[in-house]
Amino acid sequence: MKSIDLLTIGEPLMEFAEVQRDGERLYLPGYGGDVSNAAVAAARQGAKVAIFTALGGDFFGQDFLDLWQREGIDCSSVIRPKDGRTGAYFISYGADGHVFSYARAGSAASLITSEELPLAQIASARILHASGISQAISESCADAVFAAIIHAKSNGTVVSYDTNLRLKLWPLERARAIIHGASALSDILLPGLDDARQLTGLERPEEICAFYLGLGCGVVALTMGKNGTMVATRERVDVIAARPVEAVDATGAGDTFDGAFLAEWLAHRDPFRAAAYANAAAALSTLGRGAVAPIPERAAVERFLQSA
């Protein structure tokens, strides 16, 4: 019996976003980390969500537990070693958009091992979601995600994976090997176009989708920014148009897409409809600063869709 809609695995990060106030540069705290953002996005669309990670025994770790509890996210399997540390990142804004600086080395989440996986929770989820970042933060995490994926598949849990390439965390050749391996085991793949071009060496979206389908994925939803999302299955390939807005900050747009896509896909198993919904949710998430605060609730997404 599947009691959880979505279980995400990865690293949460405290966010500090730059603001200019009275001529001074200040950094306001918030929440980040790709799979945590996706979990919040899915929960705000009405999905029953859980998260597995490790947090430090610090105030930041407690902040995340408080956030997830407010959002109705099950964090019962979260590990919290007393001597652990919660990672953080800083967002600065310049002429070319936002710039990220990270303080995550040695975080509690990066020390997770396969032996600590919540196997019963993985088996009870309808979807398991992880990402390239989940595997990039350490070798033990890379192994743990593979073990989680294999356990999910053996228990009838759908596997979702966002390639989410971060070359500051690992070299491209290792990233390719690990991400391609995880992609080949995934049922739903959620790559971004720029990352996919680096990972595959291919340029055209159609070629990239065909490559990932060839690895064994059943659904590929390739996000292409203002050019929409190319959704590909073995039976159909189509581009779902983006929803134009006056964007303020796209920090959490990709993660919002992931969470909204998966929550909507669970309702009807139609990836094309799910992408249209997720495009709208992602667009709305760019109307405010930071990763989590602007993620819309389902009612806001539905109003936006009806008004278009």
pLDDT 10s digits, 242-266: 998 998 888 899 999 999 999 999 9
Return the bridge partners of 13, or none.
32
Length of the chain: 308
Q: Which of 208, 181, 204, 184 is nearest to 196 (CA)?
A: 208
Position 264 scores a pLDDT of 98
Residue 4, SS3 per DSSP? strand
Which of 98-107, 224-233, 278-287 is least confident? 98-107
pTM: 0.95
Taking 70 as the threshold, does the pLDDT of residue 292 lie above it? yes
Cα 72 off chain centre by: 18
Mean pLDDT of 29-46: 97
Taking 80 as the threshold, does the pLDDT of residue 93 lie above it? no
Position 289 scores a pLDDT of 83
In the chain, what percentage of residues exceed pLDDT 90? 86
The residues near 215 (Cβ < 8 Å, ≥ 6 apart) are 180, 183, 184
Kind plus residue range of the DSSP H or E element containing 66: helix 59-70
Taking 80 as the threshold, does the pLDDT of residue 180 lie above it? yes
Two structure tokens written together for 163: 């390639």
Mean pLDDT of the chain: 95
Position 82 scores a pLDDT of 84
Two structure tokens written together for 191: 């790559």
Task: Give strand ranges (E) for 48-150.
Answer: 49-52, 88-94, 97-103, 125-131
Position 98 scores a pLDDT of 72
Contact 248, 286 (CB under 8 A): yes
Taking 80 as the threshold, does the pLDDT of residue 308 lie above it? no
Residue 20: pLDDT band with limits 50, 70, 90: confident
